[in-house]
Amino acid sequence: MTSDFDRLADAILAGSPATPDDALAVLRAADAELLHVVAAAGRLRRAHFGNTVKVNYLVNLKSGLCPENCNYCSQALGSSAPILKYSWLSQDAALDQAAAGLHGGACRVCLVASGRGPSDRDVDKVADLAGALKRQHPDVEVCACLGLLKDDQAQRLKDAGVDAYNHNINTAESHHAEIVQTHTYADRVDTVQRAKDAGLSPCSGLIAGLGETDEQLVEALFALRELDSDSIPVNFLIPFDGTPFQHTWDLTPTRCLLVLAMARFVCPDREIRIAGGRELHLRSVQSIALHLANSIFLGDYLTSEGQEAERDLELIRDGGFVVLGSEQDLAQRAEPAIRRRGAGTDVLPNA
Ligand code: SF4
């Protein structure tokens, strides 16, 4: 039986982009339709990315101590979340961190620093680091995420060999003032535009679960399509204690799948990356999510821990996907563990 979502996928593959109404219908699909949605969006994913998963690795160069007040952020002004706080890592320490991620299978390293935006000295520091990273690992893709850019900062990063720049719009323009007051939505769009104008690959995404309406999630996705973001990180709110969103939990695993599916229908040929909150919110359906998204972060996030990096790779392999750019032999077998607990033993059962 052909579902409405299959017909939508056919139309998109034939060159008719999804409309906001289509996106809303995906977001509001009934539980019984979930697998139809996944199957249809999965066709778009495979048409553009086959069975590859891009693996990215975050290096938090500077953590916490931010003067901005993004309500969702554990590093924000006023946040009392007990996160690691430190000023710039040394170049050697940053290179060591990046090497660990690359060794684990990542092909893109994201160099991130908290703050409203970089000073020119900060840009020099990141430019030097990017150059050193490229000399050590010529094939690495480097993405910088340093906040709002001004003047010729994007160009200087580009000239130093940085490939991409991340700056998320985070939410719909109509919801932005509810979640941050120290900068505007237009400021964020301006930085994405500057990155693009300098020839950096624009990476901009959103956070679901910020109290936005369905229509606002759709609005944010269409804004990202309009911005022509090459990669779209989809975050699911991590409600850190000590932040204004600490008691906000609007997401379920199925809702998260529908958000990712909507992103795929709206931006079928863009890198859709499952970002922060993957383990917390998708939980046991992470593997289904890979049929929608084609990119993940390996290991830990900026201020919270992810699952073991090896489990991330297992997730990819077990779903029949391959790490983009990896030649590794994916055949793996696990040895059965002989039961030594529960019935017939003096040891407590596994229940
Ligand atoms: S500008 Fe970045 S680091 Fe600072 S509070 Fe906002 S999201 Fe967090």
Report pLDDT digits (tens) over 114-152: 999 999 999 999 999 999 999 999 999 999 999 999 999
Q: Best substitution site from 66, 77, 191, 210 to test ligand 1's pocket, by max atoms within 8 Å of Cβ?
A: 66
User: Which value, to the nearest 10 degrees, does the dihedral of the CA atoms of residues 111, 112, 117, 122 take?
Assistant: -50
- In the chain, helix, strand, coil percent, each to 5? 40, 15, 45
**Mean pLDDT, the chain, integer:** 95
* Residue stretches of the annotated binding site: 66, 70, 73, 110, 143, 203, 273
| Element at 197 (helix H, strand E) | helix 185-197
Model pLDDT, residue 124: 97
Domain 4-322 class, CATH top level: alpha beta
Report pLDDT digits (tens) over 215-242: 999 999 999 999 999 999 999 999 999 9
- In order along its 351 residues, the chain shows pLDDT tens digits of 688 999 999 999 999 999 999 999 999 999 999 999 999 999 999 999 999 999 999 999 999 989 999 999 999 999 999 999 999 999 999 999 999 999 999 999 999 999 999 999 999 999 999 999 999 999 999 999 999 999 999 999 999 999 999 999 999 999 999 999 999 999 999 999 999 999 999 999 999 999 999 999 999 999 999 999 999 999 999 999 999 999 999 999 999 999 999 999 999 999 999 999 999 999 999 999 999 999 999 999 999 999 999 999 999 999 999 999 875 545 556 677 888 888 889 998 888
Model pLDDT, residue 146: 98
Residue nearest to atom 5 of ligand 1 (CA): 76
**Atom number in ligand 1 closest to CA 75:** 8
Phi, psi of 194 (to 5 degrees): -60, -40
Model pLDDT, residue 130: 98
Model pLDDT, residue 117: 97
Which residues are CB-contacts of 261 (< 8 A; sequence separation ≥ 6)? 26, 29, 37, 38, 41, 292
Residues in contact with ligand 1 by the CB-under-6-Å rule are 66, 68, 70, 73, 75-76, 114, 116, 147
**Atom number in ligand 1 closest to CA 115:** 4
Tell me the C-alpha to C-alpha distance, in Å, between residue 216 and each of 20, 48, 100, 106, 329: 10, 27, 38, 32, 43
Task: Please say whether the beta carbons of 164 and 141 come within 8 A.
Answer: yes
Model pLDDT, residue 326: 77
